[in-house]
Amino acid sequence: MRYRTIGTTPDTRREVSVLALGAMLFGSQTDEETSFAVLDRYVEAGGTFIDTSDNYAFWADGGQGGQSEELLGRWRRSRGIGEEIVIATKLGARPLAPGTSYVDNAEGLSAKVIRESAERSRDRLGVAKLDLLYAHIEDQRVPLQETVEGFAELVSEGSVGLLGVSNHAIWRVERARALAAAAGLPGYEVLQYAHSHLRPRFDVPEGLFPDGSLGHAGPDLLSYLRAEPGLTLVAYSPLLKGAYTHPDRLPADFDHPGTPARLTVLREVAQETGATVNQVVLAWQIGAELPIVPLVGASSVAQLEESLAAVDLELTPEQRARLDAAH
Ligand SMILES: NC(=O)c1ccc[n+]([C@@H]2O[C@H](COP(=O)([O-])OP(=O)(O)OC[C@H]3O[C@@H](n4cnc5c(N)ncnc54)[C@H](OP(=O)(O)O)[C@@H]3O)[C@@H](O)[C@H]2O)c1
């Protein structure tokens, strides 16, 4: 395994493995035995960066989520896992009632929700301190100042180590960070967005985002990362939920001329290196100039093994240039 630093200040900095593991479906779609086996293998291989959320996976049973955090709590206790493993969680997108969704009934990002939901996540995970806590989705009803202060309070009290943000318009991330900086408060240092080698069209509206997807890392976000070298992009769904191996899973917003062009180069590089397309995608992200940590999902140990092997796949500068340029 290889490691990198997330966080920008001496107080918030943490070393994490260059490959993060998503626990979204653990405890719901993925049964406990398989989930524990994947988690054990990840840690055995040197993995130290696990991702969950207070709303995972509410859609699996029409509830409000929490199964993933609870499973991680049981796994931590049974394995004696301590501070060596960074467990990131999120709040803000938990449905307020069973049978509803974050699209129209999310808990949001008020100071009260931030305090109470973070405490419930600590209970489910069985930890005194959340290593990394993200704002999962935007809350346009609550003043940004209230959200910024709500998160910062938890850091100053010691119940959260590091702050992150996901699925927000970049102007909103910048505004929140500017408000925090002006007040001398800790701000978001880790940005979690969907990012893979294939790129979606950004002008396709979806439930939460009438102006087009804010969940995908687009040019604004990459430009922001370049300008703010302390930030880290945690790239969720880097394997496009299995679409590189099952093309029928590719969502409609990837149906444009750039997709076959990029797939062609991915396949060429896979052939040259003897690796799989999934591994080329992950190696391309891990070795990128910008600080990108791929956050993979796995529903079996075999899938995880394929992703772990990408950590040792070195692409040549020429292969990397071809992958960057394809469009
Ligand atoms: N911030 C957010 O809003 C957000 C949104 C989504 C996800 N996330 C986070 O990101 C994590 C990863 O998301 P993801 O599951 O979408 O990531 P992903 O890595 O793109 O997809 C993982 C899925 O791809 C398939 N897969 C993985 N390895 C494979 C292989 N070698 N061959 C064939 N198929 C393979 C599996 O699907 P099958 O099980 O169907 O085979 C697996 O569950 C989540 O657990 C969550 O923590 C965050």
Domain boundaries, the chain: 3-325
Ligand 1 center from residue 149 Cα (angstroms): 32
Question: 236: how many CB neighbours lie within 10 A of its CB?
Answer: 25
Best residue among 216, 241, 300, 305 to mutate for probing ligand 1, ranked by most atoms within 8 Å of CB: 241
Q: How far apart are CA 297 and CA 235, in angstroms?
A: 11
DSSP bridge partners of 235 = 193, 294
Ligand 1 center from residue 190 Cα (angstroms): 19
Average pLDDT, the chain: 96
Residue-wise pLDDT for 154-206, tens only, equals 999 999 999 999 999 999 999 999 999 999 999 999 999 999 999 999 888 77
Give residues with Cβ within 8 angstroms of 54, minimum separation 6.
65, 66, 69, 89, 90, 91, 94, 117, 120, 121, 124
Is the Cβ atom of 245 under 6 angstroms away from ligand 1? Answer: yes
- CATH 3.20.20.100 fits domain 3-325: yes
Give residues with Cβ within 8 angstroms of 249, minimum separation 6.
240, 241, 242, 243
Ligand 1 center from residue 62 Cα (angstroms): 20
Best residue among 165, 295, 307 to mutate for probing ligand 1, ranked by most atoms within 8 Å of CB: 295
Range from 34-38, 94-98, 251-255, 302-306 carrying the lowest mean pLDDT: 251-255
